[in-house]
Amino acid sequence: MSRFVPKPEDHFTFGLWTVGNRGRDPFGHEVRPAVPPVRLVQLLSEVGAYGVNFHDNDLIPIDATPQERDAIVAEFKQAVNDCNMRVPMVTVNLFSDPVFRDGAFTSNVRSIREYALRKTIESIDLAAELGAEIFVLWGGREGTEVDASKDPRDALKRYRECIDFLCEYVIDHQYPLKFALEAKPNEPRGDLYLPTTGSMLAFIETLAHPDMVGVNPEFAHETMAGLNMYHQVAQALEAGKLFHIDLNDQKIGRFDQDLRFGSESLKGAFFLVKLLEDAGWQGMRHFDAHAYRTEDEEGVKAFAEGCIRNYLILREKVHQFNEDPEIQAILQELRAEGGDEPLVYSADAAAALKDRTFDRVSLGEKAYPYEKLDQLVVELLLGVR
Ligand code: GLT
Ligand code: MN
Ligand code: MN
């Protein structure tokens, strides 16, 4: 049993909104009572989490006075310290209040864009106060149902202005904070701008301070778009832009399910863990998921423990994969075909390609042992290897 017990250095984190999720959905009311943030911190420490993340309004009501805010933050800090936890990431809620019904940074109304900036810089101050290093921006309502209402180019221009503004703010205050942009294809809006991690990566290069901005891919969101999370994360990692990650699970073609990590797409979760572990990625293993609506507090704990256990079990499977003689022999065989050697341009190299006679037909006759390789992976995951 002690094999899958988390250690602080595993860096598992959860949002207050995940274990605090009350099970409300578009067709039904809350099924679980509101749990105070301080109690949620204790619950997370009981399941072995390293850190706790939150939106400004998960902790501080939107209409709190400055005095109330300070008292809440002081009590929360105390609870985090008492539990020997950290706050590695903070984010801002720019989607729940009616003021954001048509977006925040992309709103047609300048005062709403300004209010969104004010709300965000206050959350950034709080993030810095609590020692967070990453600030996530999920554009929950940055989208539309009515394309006649906005030219998407204007929306992107406004989005860019706001992120540039926020980067300058962080630079001005010398906060050691970086931004991670989280994509989602739809929900709650019919269409969200910058719907995938790939779109975010392209957008980041158009910002004034691209070095300060990376991505926060979410398993569920990429899957909703029909994409392969493993590939999306690999691209972000390879570009040095994987600043944060939202681990959860999802069935393709559904609403944003935010399922327990590893509960649905075992092979996808396995390759994702393999990618992060093989790369020695230093970021937080953050779970952005919540318990089924059928659960009570005990179920919420089982959910959180399940996320962590599944990550640790898959991590053990990764080690097994990396040491499995049969799997490694096949990979070795594939590498022997020159898979690792770079192709570098020179005039001579191009001329040599033109002069060379390729036996296209025999190259086309070559078969690949991928059925065997994939079956070995399946058997490894099913626990019979
Ligand atoms: C919300 C959303 C998540 C985001 C959170 C950060 S809030 O729960 O569904 O995917 O990561 O804003
Ligand atoms: Mn998320
Ligand atoms: Mn989600």
Residue 137 CA, closest ligand 1 atom number = 12
Closest Cα to atom 6 of ligand 1: 138
Of 166, 88, 92, the C-alpha closest to 133 is 88
Return the ligand number nearest the Cα of 217.
Answer: 2
| pLDDT at position 1 over 70 | no
Residue type, 317: K
Q: Residue 52 and residue 74: Cα distance in Å, rounded?
A: 15
Mean pLDDT for the stretch of residues 178-202:
98
For the chain, what are the domain ranges?
2-321, 325-381
The per-residue pLDDT for 44 is 98
**C-alpha of residue 271 to centroid of ligand 3, in Å:** 20
Mean pLDDT for the stretch of residues 187-203:
98
Banded model confidence at residue 339, pLDDT cuts 50, 70, 90: confident
Per-residue model confidence as pLDDT tens digits over 279-334: 999 999 999 999 999 999 999 999 999 999 999 999 999 999 999 999 999 999 99
Banded model confidence at residue 109, pLDDT cuts 50, 70, 90: very high
The per-residue pLDDT for 337 is 86
The per-residue pLDDT for 125 is 98
Banded model confidence at residue 67, pLDDT cuts 50, 70, 90: very high
In the numeric block, which tokens belong to residue 337?
């075909």
The per-residue pLDDT for 338 is 82
Is 221 among the annotated ligand-binding positions? yes
Is 70 among the annotated ligand-binding positions? no
Answer yes or no: is the C-beta of 17 below 6 A from any ligand 1 atom: yes
| pLDDT at position 175 over 90 | yes
Answer yes or no: is the C-beta of 56 below 6 A from any ligand 1 atom: no
C-alpha dist (Å) from residue 171 to 91, 105, 120, 206, 311: 18, 20, 15, 18, 35
Banded model confidence at residue 340, pLDDT cuts 50, 70, 90: confident
**C-alpha of residue 334 to centroid of ligand 1, in Å:** 40
**C-alpha of residue 219 to centroid of ligand 3, in Å:** 8
| pLDDT at position 130 over 80 | yes
Residue 218 CA, closest ligand 1 atom number = 10
**C-alpha of residue 310 to centroid of ligand 2, in Å:** 18
Answer yes or no: is the C-beta of 91 below 6 A from any ligand 1 atom: yes
CATH architecture of 2-321: Alpha-Beta Barrel (3.20)
Return the ligand number nearest the Cα of 257.
Answer: 3
Banded model confidence at residue 378, pLDDT cuts 50, 70, 90: very high
Closest Cα to atom 7 of ligand 1: 138
To which residue do tokens 């990764």 refer? 318
Asked if residue 122 lies in contact with residue 91, where contact means CB atoms within 8 angstroms, the answer is: no
Is 246 among the annotated ligand-binding positions? yes
Answer yes or no: is the C-beta of 136 below 6 A from any ligand 1 atom: yes
Residue 338 CB coordination number (10 Å): 8
- Which residues belong to the active site? 55, 58
